[in-house]
Every structure is written in structure tokens, then in C-alpha cells.
Amino acid sequence: MSNKTIRKIIIILFSIIMMIVAGREFLIRLNQREPIVKGPGVTTIAKLSDYFEDIKGTIGDTDVYIMDGDEEGGTVLIISGGHPNEISGVLTNVLFIENANIIKGRVLLIPFANNSGFTAGHPGEAYPMRYTINTEWGSRWFRFGDRWTNPLHQWPDPEVYVHYPSGQSLSGFDIRNLNRCFPGRENGTLTEKVAFAITQLIKKEKVDMTIDLHEAEPMYPVINTIVAHQRAMDIAVFAEMNLSAYEGIRIGKELSPENLHGLTHRELGDYTDTFALLAETCNPIQDPCRGRTDENLLLTGKDDFILKAGKLGLLFVPFDENGSPVDERVGRHTSTVLELINSFSELYPDKEIIISNVPRYSEVIEKGVGHYLLEPEGNL
Ligand SMILES: [Zn+2]
């Protein structure tokens, strides 16, 4: 055998080993799901396919947690994981699911809205596969996904994505972006079908208010803010005032642009009777100018390059060496959700929703997210 042949064999063997190592990770990503504990307030765990059968048995189907209060009142839906790389929304929903006590009204929660997106990382971004939250009894792990539906489940992308039904042209890859696919399409792509199922759920359950939880990079202008459909603006205004007055949380409020289509705060407000709102916190791992991309950055939000960008005046949020830790981001979301619910209840007293046992901003920062995560039974 010549040296050349031996070299070729070594390269082929090395490639096979790399494929096995990577393939194993991809398989784990596709098949493993983090444990979520059914909290004392959860009445039923339904499926999104209960509202649109077409997605039954597909990766688009996802759990819907239903928490019925003791007294009748309004219904609120909390969505997270529309973008599976924005973790504070998922953790906020899990905190509600595992802790909340519903005294009046109903709370519906979809923690992993784009379930397919949780099975992939974004190519070339060096995203960690999962992250771990430490608790007093041990630790809990959660998947860290991609912003878009996994191309294994929906492919190929068109050159230009034409949003249904507005006809607006968007980037081709945004056809896999759940928050560009609302109100959804019955016979559309997987992502459009998931959006359609959520819209159907809102109609069938007569959801009075929908809150969609997100995160954004510090160089993006829509951050640390509430975006409201025009019918929901008064709810956002009261919530913003109370968050600032009673908890010292500085949060913006923005009106959903009428001509920006596919987003929850626009389409759910236009195509259903729900009051549609979206909240954003600051997640530095999403920022293109970040440095080392690992679990530490995801959870602490500390990054020297973003710090430098802040000193150059390039950021839309205050940012110092303390970073943007996950406890602070989740605390912002729990307080924002609770305050939106309070504002809604004050404005529409016949639809009042009362929730107890969910920690607010200062409590989450003081005790940490892990303090509020329950211990699952069995293997983790
Ligand atoms: Zn988002």
C-alpha cells in the first residue's frame, strides 16, 4: 500500500469517527426531552393537536398545560419557546406550571411552542445542546434549541417566504420561524400548521389574553419591552406603570406595527378576540458580537465583547460587568406576566384572574430560578 492510500484510509476513518460522535449528539438532541413536573395547580395536560388534529403524531405537537381556578374568571394563555433559543420564557412558564395556584380564572401554558426547534442547534453558532439549573436538591436540565423549525422536519426553504394570508414577502428561512407564521394555515407547512393550531386553541378556549414570551440580543432595539396589539395597549400601559412604580423594573411598551405580519402580537389580535401581547428580555448569547458561546454565557449573560459594544453606545439596554443573568431575565418575565394579568383584571373585572404562589422579580433574583423548580420523580 502506498503512503497516499494509507493517508486516504486514515482520513476516511477519522471522518467516520467524527460522524459517529456528531451523529450520537444529533440523535440525543432529537429524542431527549427535559422532565417537567406537573405542579399542584395543573388540572390537565392537553396536546396542541387536541385543537388541530392534523399535527397529531408530528414533531409539531406539544403539551398544553391547563390550570383551572377554583372560581370562574377570565382565561390567559402564556406561550414560550416560539423561539427555542430564548430560554427565559420557557423557564418562566415552567415556574408557573410547577408553582402557581390559580384562585380565579384559567391559565393555559404552552412552554415549547415550536417543539421542532428544540431538536436542533443553529449551524455555525456553537450553541450548547442544553443548560443546567442548579437547585437545592440537585439540578434540572433543559434543551437549548434553534430560533427556527429543524430543517429535518421542514425543508427546503423558498428564496422568498410569502406570508399567508397577508402576502408580505419575508426572508426565505423565516418560513420556519413560528413567530412569522401566525395566524397559520390549515394546509400549510409544519410551522404554519403549529401556528394555526395555537390560533384554534385561542378561539376554542376563548382565551381573553395571550402573552408570548421572548428574548432579544442587546444590539436589537426591541428589547426589555412589552409589544402590544392596539386593542391590548391599555393593558400594557398599566402594567408598565406598575412594574416601574412598585418593582423598579424599567420596561418599554411598543405598539405592534400594523404592517409587520406573522407575529403573535399582530395576527392573534387581528384574527381572534384575544388581547395579544409579547414581552422581551435581554439574552446576550443571541448577539452576533458575543465572544465565547457556552452555557456560562447563556446563564450569566456576561460577555466582554458586548460590554465593549455597550461602552461604544451600540446597545439598546444598560449593560455592565454583571451581565444579564437568567434569574433577572426570568424575574422580569414573571413580574411582567403577573402585572399584565393584574392590569387585565382591573380593566375587565368580570373576567378577573387571580394567581398566587408565583415569585416576582426580586424574589427570583434573591432565591434563584432553581429554588422554584420541583424535583422530578425517576431518572433525569
Ligand atoms: Zn423571539
What DSSP letter does each residue of 277-314 carry, written as one string?
A: EEEEEE-GGG-TT--S-SHHHHHH---HHHHHHHHTT-
Residue 125 in any domain: the answer is yes
Q: Distance between CA atoms of 113 and 149, rounded to whole angstroms? A: 11
In this structure, are residues 203 and 243 in contact, taking their beta carbons and an 8 Å threshold? Answer: no
The number of domains in the chain is 1
Give a yes or no: residue 294 inside a domain: yes
**pLDDT for 379:** 56
CA 281 to centroid of ligand 1, rounded, Å:
9
**CA dist 69 → 96, 125, 325 (Å):** 13, 43, 32
CA angle 144, 199, 180 (to 5 degrees): 55
- Backbone torsions φ then ψ of 209, nearest 5 degrees: -140, 135
pLDDT on residue 380: 56
Residue 9 lies in a domain: no
Query: For residue 158, is the peptide bond before it cis, meaning its omega torsion is within 30 degrees of 0?
Result: no
Indicate the pairing of strand 252-255 with strand 225-228: parallel
Q: What is the pLDDT of residue 134?
A: 97
Specify if 135 maps to a domain: yes
Angstrom distance (rounded) from CA 122 to CA 128: 10
Does residue 25 lie within any of the structural domains?
no
How remote is the CA of residue 215 from the centroid of ligand 1, in Å? 5
How far apart, in whole angstroms, are the C-alpha atoms of residue 185 and residue 163?
Answer: 10
Query: Which pLDDT value is given to residue 22?
Result: 87
Q: How many whole angstroms from 145 Cα to the centroid of ligand 1? A: 12
The CA–CA distances, whole Å, from 358 to 98, 105, 248, 266 equal 9, 15, 18, 28
Nearest to 182 by CA among 161, 205, 198: 198
To which H or E segment does residue 67 belong? strand 63-68
**214 CA → ligand 1 middle, Å:** 4
The CATH number for 365's domain is: 3.40.630
State the cell numbers at 1: 500500500
Q: Nearest CA to 72 among 297, 368, 351, 304? A: 351
- Centre of ligand 1 from the C-alpha of residue 355, in Å: 26
Query: Is 64 part of any domain?
Result: yes
Asked whether residue 17 is assigned to any structural domain, the reply reads: no
| Centre of ligand 1 from the C-alpha of residue 89, in Å | 9
Determine, yes or no, domain membership for 23: no
CB-based contacts of 238, cutoff 8 Å, min separation 6: 339, 342, 343, 346, 347
Low-confidence ranges of the chain (pLDDT < 50): none
Distance 265 CA to ligand 1 centre (A): 12
Cell triple for 94: 415552567
* Chain position carrying cell 426531552: 33
* Residue 111 half-sphere exposure toward CB, CA atoms < 13 A: 25
Determine the Cα–Cα distance for residues 314 and 368; give it in Å rounded to an integer. Answer: 30
Which range marks the domain in which residue 319 is found? Answer: 32-372
Residue 343's φ and ψ, nearest 5 degrees, are -65, -45
How far apart are the C-alpha atoms of 380 and 365, rounded to whole Å? Answer: 26
- Please, is 17 exposed, middle or buried when counting C-beta atoms within 10 Å of its C-beta (0-12, 13-18, 19+)? exposed
